[in-house]
Amino acid sequence: MNTQELIDTAKKMVAGGKGLLAMDESNPTCNKRFAKLGIPQTEEARRAYRELIVTTPGLGDSISGAILYDETIRQRKKDGTPFINVIADAGIIPGIKVDTGAKDLAGHPGEKITEGLDGLRERLSEYFQMGARFAKWRAVIALGEGNPSRGCIEANAQALARYAALCQEAGLVPVVEPEVLMEGQHTLERCCQVTEEALRTVFSQLHGQGVMLEGMILKPNIALPGLTCPQQESADAVVDATVHCLLRSVPAAVPGIAFLSGGQPAELASERLNAMNVRFKSRMPWELAFSSARAIQQPALEIWRGKDSNVVAAQQALNHRARCSRAARRGEYDAAMERTPATIAQVAKPAA
């Protein structure tokens, strides 16, 4: 393990007011999103979509690192250039999702355990050779009647810690993602309790596995009331709760916290991240960044719909959401940004 390189990479991932773009949807997840929009669920369609993303002009102004999927890291532009070279040439650090998905946790109805530890050392070594410099592993924690169980939180935290230790051994910065899901009727307070318990357990396990905190990034959820909770909350309430929870559970040695978007509407995700940075940026020990998939990609995907004629408009929409995320991360986002000429692409009608 080259300690200094890991520390430098982790710092770069959250430097310059930028954040991470997650474009690591597994084939089933990507296909599901394509199916909703009538896009063919083929390897070529996934390749074309990822080419649209990585060739978006100016993406590197807002995005410090891009998380790829195993299929994507091996793909190329139509002209033969490997995606990983296109990304690196744009000044974006290539990353890779290395978990193999969340499966049912035996003995715990309604709960999941993320798999992928078998053979991970060898896979990490291959990804490093290919040029990846960081990795991602997502654990999911669902709230429900009596859930999450302690067994689910512990099993996922231990898997995250073993993954993180293997990453650092291989020279890759681990992005540690324990995601408390938004689905459910739970209150903001309940989400905070669970998020805090999950994070405390994760950091205890990271310590147990000897993970160097300065060489990792935490990717948590923002604390939110459940999607069907009758009492939704203001951006300020959400931000207060999130910061409170993080201060109690995340060591100051961690260089950055990059929030997942978790299916929040794109504009709301920007509004909340902005409120957090406006109010707390100068008082937090960590950078407060983003690591989003849907909040950056969704409008672009809806414009593209698998048509070459929509590529430019889709790239403009992608770049716009990346710029809004960057502004939010700097505390400079304003709803008026959604009405500037740069957003024309977002409202442009995609070709039928």
User: What type of residue is 161?
Assistant: A
User: What type of residue is 256?
Assistant: G
Going by C-beta distance under 8 Å and a sequence separation of 6 or more, which residues neighbour residue 325?
19, 62, 269, 270, 273, 290, 292, 295, 296
| Rg of the chain taking only CA atoms, in angstroms | 19
Select 18 or 294, whichever has its Cβ closest to ligand 13P.
Answer: 294
Select 27 or 81, whichever has its Cβ closest to ligand 13P.
Answer: 27
Q: Rounded to the nearest whole angstrom, what is the least distance from the CB of residue 60 to ligand 13P in the complex?
A: 19
Q: Which residues pair with 114 in a beta bridge?
A: 102
Rounded Cα gap, residues 5 and 1, in angstroms:
9
Q: Rounded to the nearest whole angstrom, what is the least distance from the CB of residue 351 to ligand 13P in the complex?
A: 26
Catalytic status, residue 332: no
User: What type of residue is 308?
Assistant: D
Q: Rounded to the nearest whole angstrom, what is the least distance from the CB of residue 146 to ligand 13P in the complex?
A: 25
DSSP conformation class of 114: E
Name the residues that contact ligand 13P, by CB under 6 A: 22, 138, 177, 260-262, 292-295
Select 220 or 312, whichever has its Cβ closest to ligand 13P.
Answer: 220
Select from 109, 69, 91, 22 the least CA-distant residue to 291: 22
Of 177, 196, 197, 287, the active-site residue reads 177
Select 261 or 274, whichever has its Cβ closest to ligand 13P.
Answer: 261
DSSP assignment of 78-106: TTS-BHHHHHHHTT-EEEEE----EEEPT
Catalytic status, residue 219: yes
CB 46 within 8 A of CB 69: no
Q: Rounded to the nearest whole angstrom, what is the least distance from the CB of residue 177 to ligand 13P in the complex?
A: 6
Select 194 or 348, whichever has its Cβ closest to ligand 13P.
Answer: 194
Q: Rounded to the nearest whole angstrom, what is the least distance from the CB of residue 186 to ligand 13P in the complex?
A: 18
Select 31 or 81, whichever has its Cβ closest to ligand 13P.
Answer: 31
Rounded Cα gap, residues 48 and 76, in angstroms:
9
Of 18, 136, 219, 271, the active-site residue reads 219
Q: Rounded to the nearest whole angstrom, what is the least distance from the CB of residue 48 to ligand 13P in the complex?
A: 20
CB 96 within 8 A of CB 67: yes
Rounded Cα gap, residues 153 and 113, in angstroms:
9
Q: Rounded to the nearest whole angstrom, what is the least distance from the CB of residue 140 to ligand 13P in the complex?
A: 9
Select 33 or 162, whichever has its Cβ closest to ligand 13P.
Answer: 33
- 143-151 long-range contacts (CB < 8 A, ≥24 apart) are 143/180, 143/181, 143/183, 143/184, 143/186, 143/190, 143/191, 143/194, 143/226, 144/110, 144/184, 147/108, 147/110, 147/111, 148/111, 148/194, 148/198, 149/108, 149/111, 151/105, 151/107, 151/108, 151/111
Tokens describing residue 72: 């994507």
Q: Which residues are catalytic?
A: 177, 219
